[in-house]
Chain A
Amino acid sequence: MVEGQLDPAAALALLESQERRVRAALDPGLALTFLTWGMAWLVGFGSIWWQVREQSPYLGPQGAVAGLFAVLLTAAAIFTGWRTQRAVAGIGGESARRGRLYGLAWLAGPLALFATFAALGRAGAAAPVLGVLGACGPLLVVGLMYLFGAACFGSRPMGVLGAWLLVLAACIGFTGPVIAAGLAALLAGGGFLVTAAVVARRGRR
């Protein structure tokens, strides 16, 4: 392109196409992130519910199912981290500082929850108690993380999803560990999928 030969129509077209291109490059892909987490929760908690639904007495998730849940959540976290890192590479300043803090909180929150689990197990907590915490704990941590994200980045979908997960965290434990796992799969996994659909639809507008 030769300097100084832009008529206004061509200039506006170039400006808008460049704007679309840069926005796409800087977009961490919130819809795909929610879809990934929704699938991980749906399959992970769904598998746990399927395994424990007829346990009597309740023993909790065993062997491969517990492993599958951990693998799914880890894979979702790695995928999200990679996508986000790719989008924000080279960005510095205030957003980068907030992003680093947010990333650290995503690491620290689940680790603290895992440590709480271990401590409760060590203190002799019964399987149903651990089962209730297993369903409600992740909802509590992730719900707070999304509210934190909404406050940091002004994202309404994050705020709504965070509030929904906190409502679930406050309620589903009262149904007991078996039904709570099923509700976490359906209502929390479903919440992620609905949010993914809403964000994707807004992005296409």
Chain B
Amino acid sequence: MTELDPVIHAPARMRIMVALAQLPSGDTLSFPRLQGLLDLTAGNLITHLRRLEEAGYVSTRKTGRVTTAELTDPGRAAFAEYRRSLKALLG
């Protein structure tokens, strides 16, 4: 039975992964832009980003006053696998 990655399989975290996966590897997205794209509150976004960061899927960095986030290589692979699993489950 195909299992879905529980770290990604939650609406807010999946949407964060989708947004970051649209950028090429090596690109980052600022916290305010990510928040605007997702319509999440700052607190919610921070909570879910932290969970993704703990799993090694996302990396965040603070430069001056701006915090940026990017998908890591394992995160990119996990997201591709998550999508494959979803499609496999749906036949």
Q: How far is the CA of A162 from the CA of B36 in the complex (A)?
A: 35
Residue of B nearest to A26 (CB): B22
| Least Cβ–Cβ distance between B68 and chain A, in angstroms | 6
Q: Which chain B positions have C-beta within 8 A of A11?
A: 4, 9, 14, 86
Count: A-B pairs, CB below 8 Å: 77
Q: How many residues of A contact B (CB 8 A)?
A: 25
> For this complex, into which size category does the number of interface residues on chain B fall?
20 to 34
Map CB proximity to B onto A20-32 as digits: 1 under 8 Å, 0 otherwise: 0111011000000
Query: Main secondary structure on chain A at its contact with chain B?
Result: helix
Known: A12-B86, A90-B32. A22 touches B37 (CB 8 A): yes
Whether A171 is near chain B, meaning CB under 8 Å from some CB there, is: no
Q: Which of B18, B33, B34, B86: most chain A CB closer than 10 A?
A: B18
> Are A3 and B28 in contact, with the CB atoms below 8 A?
no
| Least Cβ–Cβ distance between B26 and chain A, in angstroms | 4
A-B contact pairs, 15 of them (CB 8 A): A1-B12, A4-B9, A4-B10, A6-B10, A6-B11, A11-B86, A12-B86, A19-B22, A22-B37, A90-B34, A91-B33, A92-B29, A92-B30, A93-B70, A95-B26
Interface positions of A (Cβ within 8 A of B): 1, 3-4, 6, 8-9, 11-12, 14-15, 18-19, 21-23, 25-26, 89-96
